[in-house]
Amino acid sequence: MHNLSEEYKTLVSIAERTGGQPGSFGAEDVIYVVVHGNRILASHALPGVRIEAAETGDGIDARITVQAGTKVSKPVHLCFGHLAASGRQVIRSRIFLEEEASAEFQAHCIFPNAIEFLHAMEGEIHLGPGSAFSYREVHVHGPDGRIDVRPVSRVRIDEKAVYRGDFTLVEGRVGNLAIDIDVEAHGRRSRVEVTSKIYGKFDDFCQVRDIVRLTGAESTALIKARVVLKDRSQGKFLGLVDGAAPGARGHVDCTEVVQGEAKAVASPVVQASHPEAEVTHEAAIGRIADEKIQGLMAKGLSADAAIDFVVSGLLR
Amino acid sequence: MLEPQMLFVKDLEVEREGNRILRGISMQVHPGEICGVLGRNGAGKSSLAYAIMGLPQYAPRKGRIWFDGEDITEWGVTERARAGITLAWQHPARYEGIQVRDYLKLSKPDAAAEDLEEALKLVQMEPFYLDRMVDKGLSGGERKRIELSSIYLMKPRLAILDEPDSGVDLLALGEVMGLFKILASGGSSVLIITHREDVAAACDRSYLMCAGKMILEGSAAAVKRYFLSQCEPCVEQMPENTGEAALNHA
């Protein structure tokens, strides 16, 4: 028999330790949702924000609407997780920010005991004119086992709206990760920033596919990836910006660091479908210099701890 | 009278890329002593520091290293550090995204804010530097000073300082030496690698190194005198990557 309060406490304590503000969950002035598997353990909304969530066979369907003109002052915390070693969780979400609304979402995906687990996030995000939306997804996995993580987002951005997406998986095993983000900035002067920070170890496989289509005039995009791979882990990064409107400007910036027998492939792709668009890219794959690792070892750190320390800075 | 040696190096030979860069080095450092190794650029001083620290690229092909009576020749860098040896690099590495505070805390994980501030004060840096990033907005001299303060926080049993005064803008020699004396008075031994005779002269005792060999050991004043009279200009300076030409000098 499940003990709901224990599951709630465990998930929330990890979430608060890894980026959530202590006391956020349960606070009267904070919007939050806590889901364990396919069970909604807690949900709290505030005026101007509508949350409709339903449990499904393997996860939840959620629709969150931030109504026109609503400025959500404190981050909205979404905690999705499972304490079991195996299973699946599929979160289907539709997030809509109406005109001139703004909100910052922090998703905490917590799987501390996962050995064989599928965690899929299928998100549709629509940002109305002049809205601003920041979405930060932090994963915490256990040190052993494998987990399949499939964050898929389809984002549509209207005029002068701003989208910032930040995916971070730096604690525990990655397992198999396939990030798939597709953004269409069709509104004039819309802005996009997509960042991925990943630390792969052992035989983890990390695939990042970030695509931004700048179809709105004077829209801008920055795709940034920081991927560190060690042991026998592998990583593939594809970052594509298509400048498809007059005055559109985009940049792809990817840095991958490999240690041990890890392998990395980086493919920054820029295309200018419109003659007045400007798109640029930079990519680098390198190793952590011996002198950096040895400098820390001379302070008593093990080689692994030294690498972790360097990586913590790279992925900050 | 000095106590028995803390560090004892015997007949150390190191080869890199086919070149013998350390040639039968023997030396010792006593507890609480500030010991200098003086020599011109290319003499092999930094290689000696790396070999004592245990960098695998400088593993000796011959000779032994003892620390506190224990043979550490086969030990790795971490083991040596945990035994109490540390090294301040001539050019401290840049760690991207790391705050000075977090970097200093590596040396003393339970350090309180006042400890960190005190360590910075010793190298004439203000507390606000704790919030700065190690890789951004710091001059080479400031990074060097932070490195020295991290050594102070570690309170190692043996601190090897590779050209500790180079690039340390605004710090006078007396202030740098003052820091080493604080280290020594706290029970640390200090091994200073330097090409400056005035730095070596301020040590308790010094060695003179040339072309991968120790050519003189003695009082700091005697080593300085020899260095100034015999080594400047040094017509037999070690050519890059060989070390052959200066052998007669020894």
In the predicted structure, residue B235 carries a pLDDT above the cut 60: no
- Interface contact flag, A303 B87, Cβ < 8 Å: no
Segment B12-41 shows an average pLDDT of: 94
The amino acid that residue A6 corresponds to is E
Residue A162: per-residue pLDDT: 98
Q: Which residues lie below 8 Å from residue B35, measured CB to CB, with a gap of 6+?
A: B29, B189, B190, B191, B192, B203, B204, B205, B206, B207
Q: Which residues lie below 8 Å from residue A2, measured CB to CB, with a gap of 6+?
A: none
Residue B175 — very low, low, confident or very high, per pLDDT cuts 50/70/90? confident
- Interface contact flag, B150 A314, Cβ < 8 Å: no
Contact A138, A168 (CB under 8 A): yes
Beta-strand (E) ranges in chain A? 32-36, 39-44, 49-55, 59-66, 76-81, 86-97, 102-111, 116-127, 132-141, 146-157, 162-171, 176-185, 191-200, 205-214, 220-229, 234-243, 249-258, 263-272, 278-286
Tracing tokens 């939306």 back to the chain, one arrives at A133
Closest CA to A206 of A232, A175, A170, A231: A175
Greater confidence, B74 or B138?
B74
Beta-strand (E) ranges in chain B? 7-16, 19-29, 34-38, 62-67, 70-71, 85-88, 158-162, 189-194, 205-210, 213-219
Distance in angstroms (rounded) separating the CA atoms of residues A80 and A84: 13
> CB burial class (10 A; 0-12, 13-18, 19+) of residue B146?
buried
Residue A143: per-residue pLDDT: 79
Distance in angstroms (rounded) separating the CA atoms of residues A116 and A272: 42
Segment A185-202 shows an average pLDDT of: 94
H or E stretch including A5?
Answer: helix A4-17
Q: What is the pLDDT of residues A39-88, one digit of tens each?
A: 999 999 999 999 999 999 999 999 999 999 999 999 999 999 999 999 99
In the predicted structure, residue A169 carries a pLDDT above the cut 90: no
Query: How far B28 CA lies from chain A's nearest CA (Å)?
Result: 20
Query: How far A289 CA lies from chain B's nearest CA (Å)?
Result: 9
Contact A197, A163 (CB under 8 A): no
Query: What is the b/e burial string over B52-75, where b = at least 16 CB atoms within 10 angstroms of the residue's CB?
Result: bbbbeebebeebebbbbeeebbeb
- Interface contact flag, A298 B53, Cβ < 8 Å: yes
> CB burial class (10 A; 0-12, 13-18, 19+) of residue A124?
middle
Q: How far is CA A157 from CA A105, A221, A223, B136, in A?
A: 16, 12, 16, 35
Contact A255, A235 (CB under 8 A): no
Nearest to B81 among A297, A312, A313 (CB): A297
Residue B172 — very low, low, confident or very high, per pLDDT cuts 50/70/90? low
Query: How far A209 CA lies from chain B's nearest CA (Å)?
Result: 25
Q: For chain B, say whether A109 makes contact (Cβ under 8 Å).
A: no
Report the percentage of chain B scoring pLDDT > 90.
Answer: 64
Residue B15: per-residue pLDDT: 96
Segment A30-35 shows an average pLDDT of: 95
Q: For chain A, say whether B150 makes contact (Cβ under 8 Å).
A: yes
Q: For chain A, say whether B107 makes contact (Cβ under 8 Å).
A: yes
Least confident of B104-118, B163-177, B196-210: B163-177
Q: What is the pLDDT of residues B81-126, one digit of tens each?
A: 999 999 999 888 889 999 999 999 999 999 999 999 999 999 889 9
Distance in angstroms (rounded) separating the CA atoms of residues A24 and A18: 13
Nearest CA in chain B to A297: B78
| Mean pLDDT over the full length of chain A | 92
Inter-chain CB pairs, A–B, below 8 Å: 56
In the predicted structure, residue A203 carries a pLDDT above the cut 50: yes
3-state secondary structure of A34: strand
Closest CA to A285 of A250, A247, A260, A254: A254
Residue A3: per-residue pLDDT: 55
| Mean pLDDT over the full length of chain B | 88
Residue A249: per-residue pLDDT: 96
What does the block give as tokens for B131? 């919030």
Nearest CA in chain B to A304: B78
Residue A175: per-residue pLDDT: 87
Residue B1 — very low, low, confident or very high, per pLDDT cuts 50/70/90? very low
Q: Which residues lie below 8 Å from residue A21, measured CB to CB, with a gap of 6+?
A: A75
Contact A214, A241 (CB under 8 A): yes
Contact B95, A310 (CB under 8 A): yes
What does the block give as tokens for A284? 């680098």
Query: How far A299 CA lies from chain B's nearest CA (Å)?
Result: 6
DSSP single-letter state for residue A109: E
DSSP single-letter state for residue B94: P
Q: What is the pLDDT of residues A97-109, one digit of tens each?
A: 999 999 999 999 9
Residue B250: per-residue pLDDT: 36
In the predicted structure, residue A19 carries a pLDDT above the cut 90: no
Nearest to B89 among A295, A312, A316 (CB): A295
In the predicted structure, residue A303 carries a pLDDT above the cut 70: yes
> CB burial class (10 A; 0-12, 13-18, 19+) of residue A233?
buried
In the predicted structure, residue B241 carries a pLDDT above the cut 90: no
Residue A156: per-residue pLDDT: 98
In the predicted structure, residue B166 carries a pLDDT above the cut 70: yes
Closest CA to B62 of B3, B115, B130, B11: B11
Contact A264, A256 (CB under 8 A): yes
Residue A80: what are its φ and ψ, rounded to 5°? -115, 135
Residue A2: per-residue pLDDT: 52
Residue B239: per-residue pLDDT: 45
Chain A residues within an 8 Å CB radius of B154:
299
Residue B234: per-residue pLDDT: 55
In the predicted structure, residue B237 carries a pLDDT above the cut 70: no
Tracing tokens 């499904």 back to the chain, one arrives at A56
In the predicted structure, residue B249 carries a pLDDT above the cut 50: no
Q: Which residues lie below 8 Å from residue A6, measured CB to CB, with a gap of 6+?
A: none
In the predicted structure, residue B55 carries a pLDDT above the cut 90: yes
Contact A64, A77 (CB under 8 A): no
Nearest to A301 among B78, B96, B150 (CB): B78
- Interface contact flag, A294 B96, Cβ < 8 Å: no
Nearest CA in chain B to A313: B97
pTM of the model: 0.78
